[in-house]
Amino acid sequence: MKKALLTVALSALAFSSAAFAQEAKKPLTFSEIQTIRIMAGGVVGNALAQTMQRPHLGLLVNRSVICNDLAGGIGGTLTVNKADSQLTFESVKDKAEIAPAVAHLLPSDGIYLAFGGEWKKEENMALLEVALEQLAEHNYKGSVIFHVTTWAQKQPQEIAARNPKIAKYFETATLRAVTLDLNKKEAMINKITFDGKDYKLNVAATAPMRDDLVELFKRQ
């Protein structure tokens, strides 16, 4: 009898483990992908609210659903948690819209660049390159903040490698990048230094990530 009960218990445990593994590998729905961006935007907005010494943030994103979900999370959380904050938002669909969008954002103390979403990397890089050229042309002195995907895909790094004007700007610009550590369940805002060849990141601030957000990220 005991052996039979043990067999049943082990079988139930094996089934439960298999079901959990199957759920962990289950592809994300588009709504879950949106949920990640909304929640991640909240994490970033919270970190910015705690660390921004000057309160005016500009957001520049492509006109994809996912990037706009992210922007909503960032902007909403920042403005709720920092009473003296100011938000200026621009979304763009093509190169022709970049110059006026950047001009509108120039008074901001920091400009957050998020180019990812459903768009291909080369499409995002084409827009980002024009945006960075505009910032370089205006010698923008505020913080230039790259979102997780934008930095992780090495979009700005590859652009600077082929565009001397942007590379030169990076040497003196105030650069920041958001990165994630899923094991520590933390998002980090990093200070970036660039000497013309190598990039160095130093953590300037961290923000905790919820368990359910981390689990969604792990299913990507």
pTM, two decimals, is: 0.88
pLDDT of residue 54: 82
Looking at residue 23, its pLDDT comes to 52
pLDDT recorded at residue 3: 53
pLDDT of res. 78: 94
Buried (b) or exposed (e) across 181-209, using 16+ Cβ within 10 A?
A: eeeeebbbbbebebeeeebeeeeebbbeb
Q: Which domains does the chain have, with CATH numbers?
A: 30-218 (3.40.50.2300)
Tens of each residue's pLDDT in the chain, 220 residues: 545 544 444 444 444 444 444 555 789 999 999 999 999 999 999 999 888 888 899 999 999 999 999 999 999 999 999 989 999 999 999 999 999 999 999 999 999 999 998 999 999 999 999 999 999 999 999 999 999 999 999 999 999 999 999 999 999 999 999 999 999 999 999 999 999 999 999 999 999 999 999 999 999 8
